[in-house]
Amino acid sequence: MGDKSDKDGKLDTLLAHAGSHPERQLGAVNPPVYRVSTVVFPTIAAMQEGAHRPFDSMRYGRHGTPTRFAFEDAVCALEGGYRSIATSSGQAAIASTLAALLGAGDHALIADSVYHPTRAYCVDHLARYGVEIEFYDPLIGAGIGALMRPNTKLVYTESPGSLTFEVQDIPAISAAAHENGAIVVTDNTWGTPVFFNALEKGVDVSLHSATKFLVGHSDAMLGVITCKYEDHWRRIKNAIAVSGVAPGSEEVFLGLRGIRTLNVRLQRHQESGLHVAKWLLDHPEVTRVLHPALPHDPGHFLWKRDFTGACGLFGIELRPGSQQAVAAFVDDLDLFGIGFSWGGYESLILPTTGAVHRTATQWRTTGPTLRLHIGLEDVDDLIADLEKGLLIYRYLVFSSSPDLIRGSTWMAGSSPAMT
């Protein structure tokens, strides 16, 4: 094996070899986990040599290690960008990108459907530093042109939104933003570098919670940002160098290892996710399935046009029932863990009623909502598990026993805030 990272290749070949440099590590296929803070130099001259290019070689642990460079190179090859930057979490990638690209007096347009901590960072922090934050209808498409102001510097997208699964018209939004000189950023965690080619669709900066599908095993926090242009990369990289949100080497090693099997895992997540979603669509307790790959979904046309696949994360709405009934359904499941996050090999479920925060638009539901991440278990076992839980839900909702249906109207806003 030689240096494959610079060579073009079909997706699976890239996933197997991008960022791989066995010749630099005594032939070992994978880079070692470099545990580094201090880097020592043989002479003052050697130390000064790289000072004008501080991020291109080993100078200090916070700025990069060979393990991290390999992960960044691999993601960059997949995303087709100028360069990538690894961060200590997906949220660090989001906050650092926004902080680096925005300043006092700038106006930023943020999709109303974004991951809630992104909204909180904008409202609680960027606004305090003098950035004007405006939330927009995620379905606005080219209409975003009408919201542009002379000081609009950035348009932030997330498609589909990780709770409501609304698909955004990224090419139309990007074209309108660029016409007005604004930078387009996307949270591409759901799309992954495999299913959504963000930079090709018009995005300037694509970021991921690599904690999800890239790592893929629920055992590391990691983020990654890929820039199409050097100028954006430099601004974000400099901001990250001084904010100190560098990932640990163990985490980037796990990210790199996850990339090698990313497509294989995603194909299975996609297949099982669709199978479960279709089954739920026909289930009498389920009134709505939010999954862009299903033909009835309002975002299906855009998803089909712009994405090459769908991961195993989607939402459902149940027919109206009590919180107790939802809790009994979820608690009864054996194979679905109750937990935040997603993208690991194991299935997860999370009640989401009351967790959707909107200010520019409204999100209407009539019954309790939940988010499912379909993992790599046997799909028939997953369906049997859900069937069993939904039977309990049905029993509790329709049971005539007052004990079982006490307080049975579902109260919006009763769910704990999403982390």
> Smallest distance, Å, CB 138 to ligand PLP?
13
Smaller CB distance to ligand PLP: residue 121 or 410? Answer: 121
Smaller CB distance to ligand PLP: residue 92 or 109? Answer: 92
Smaller CB distance to ligand PLP: residue 14 or 86? Answer: 86
Burial class (CB in 10 A: 0-12, 13-18, 19+), 250: middle
Smaller CB distance to ligand PLP: residue 21 or 373? Answer: 373
Burial class (CB in 10 A: 0-12, 13-18, 19+), 361: middle
Measured from the Cβ of residue 125, the count of other Cβ atoms closer than 10 Å reads: 14
Smaller CB distance to ligand PLP: residue 14 or 215? Answer: 215
For 131, 252, 320, the CA distances from 64, given in Å and listed in that order, are 30, 11, 51
> Smallest distance, Å, CB 343 to ligand PLP?
9
The rounded radius of gyration (Å) of the Cα atoms in the chain is 22
Smaller CB distance to ligand PLP: residue 21 or 371? Answer: 371
CA distance 379 to 275: 8
Burial string for 30-59 (b: 16+ CB within 10 Å, else e) reads ebebbebeeeeeeeeeeeeebeeeebeebb
Contact range with ligand PLP by CB under 6 A, out of 57-65, 84-92, 103-111, 259-267:
84-92
> Smallest distance, Å, CB 118 to ligand PLP?
7
> Smallest distance, Å, CB 135 to ligand PLP?
16
Among 189, 197, 249, 353, binds ligand PLP (CB under 6 A): 189
Size (the chain), residues: 419
Give the interface size with ligand PLP as a residue count (CB under 6 A).
12
**The token pair that represents 392 in the structure block:** 């309990």
Among 112, 187, 285, 385, binds ligand PLP (CB under 6 A): 187
Q: Which residue, 146, 194, 205, 135, is CA-closest to 170? A: 205
Contact range with ligand PLP by CB under 6 A, out of 7-15, 83-91, 263-271, 279-287:
83-91
Q: Which residue, 374, 363, 239, 232, is CA-closest to 313? A: 374
Give Cα 304 to chain centroid, integer Å: 19
User: Applying CB under 6 A, does 192 fall inside the site for ligand PLP?
Assistant: no
Among 65, 113, 162, 263, binds ligand PLP (CB under 6 A): 162
User: Which long-range contacts link 330-337 to residues 24+ away (Cβ below 8 Å)?
Assistant: 330/370, 330/389, 332/388, 332/389, 332/392, 333/385, 333/386, 333/388, 333/389, 334/385, 335/377, 335/381, 335/382, 335/385, 336/372, 336/382, 336/385, 336/386
**Binding to ligand PLP, residues 337-396 (CB under 6 A):** 341
What positions carry a catalytic annotation?
62, 115, 187, 212
Smaller CB distance to ligand PLP: residue 74 or 111? Answer: 111
**Binding to ligand PLP, residues 85-104 (CB under 6 A):** 89-91
Name the closest residue to ligand PLP (Cβ): 90
**Binding to ligand PLP, residues 108-147 (CB under 6 A):** 115
Are the C-beta atoms of residues 199 and 79 closer than 8 Å to each other?
yes
User: Applying CB under 6 A, does 196 fall inside the site for ligand PLP?
Assistant: no
Are the C-beta atoms of residues 207 and 114 closer than 8 Å to each other?
no
User: Applying CB under 6 A, does 211 fall inside the site for ligand PLP?
Assistant: yes
Q: State the residues that interact with ligand PLP by CB under 6 A.
A: 89-91, 115, 162, 187, 189, 209, 211, 221, 223, 341
